[in-house]
């Protein structure tokens, strides 16, 4: 965040959309977080806001996008699985399987309440 703040002129704004942690992950979910989402850590919305504020951002607006993103992920998984023959033909079985696993894991973590989505808009003071 400090690097981002240094890159912007005073009064400049940043826009961030990212996955975030809404609640602690169950120990059984941590391998999926690390190896499917490739997240060593996921930041909570509160920590994002604090981190932005600590390096000089002001007028910070945080929006929880979790419900919308979970709905989108559910629809994306259903569409992906419904068109399996086409995806396997175009991308091959290994890629289809990897993406099916990714979509399934993301939706499960959203449904658990641990994974979320956030939009942050902030101005450098």
CATH, domain range 2-124: 3.40.50.150
Distance CA 105, CA 31 (A): 11
Q: Which residue has the tokens 């990714």?
A: 102
Tell me the pLDDT tens digit for each residue of 25-66. Answer: 999 999 999 999 987 778 999 999 999 999 999 999 999 999
Q: In terms of Cα–Cα distance, which of 5, 26, 13 is closest to 123?
A: 13
Distance CA 100, CA 43 (A): 25
Spans of all domains in the chain: 2-124
This prediction's pTM: 0.87
Please state the separation of Cα 82 from the chain's center in Å. 24
Cross-strand bridge partners of residue 121: 15, 61
Tell me the pLDDT tens digit for each residue of 66-81. Answer: 999 999 999 999 999 9
Q: Give residue 41's pLDDT.
A: 79
């Amino acid at each position: 965040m400090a690097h981002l703040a240094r890159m912007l002129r005073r009064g400049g704004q940043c826009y961030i959309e990212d996955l975030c942690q809404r609640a602690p992950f169950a120990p059984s979910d941590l391998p999926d977080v690390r190896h499917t989402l490739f997240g060593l850590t996921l930041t909570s919305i509160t920590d994002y806001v604090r981190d932005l504020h600590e390096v000089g951002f002001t007028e910070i607006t945080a929006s929880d996008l979790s419900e919308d993103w979970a709905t989108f992920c559910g629809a994306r998984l259903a569409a992906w699985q419904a068109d399996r023959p086409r995806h396997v033909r175009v991308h091959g079985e290994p890629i289809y399987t990897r993406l099916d696993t990714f979509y399934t894991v993301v939706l499960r973590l959203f449904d658990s309440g641990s994974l979320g989505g956030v939009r942050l808009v902030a101005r450098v003071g």
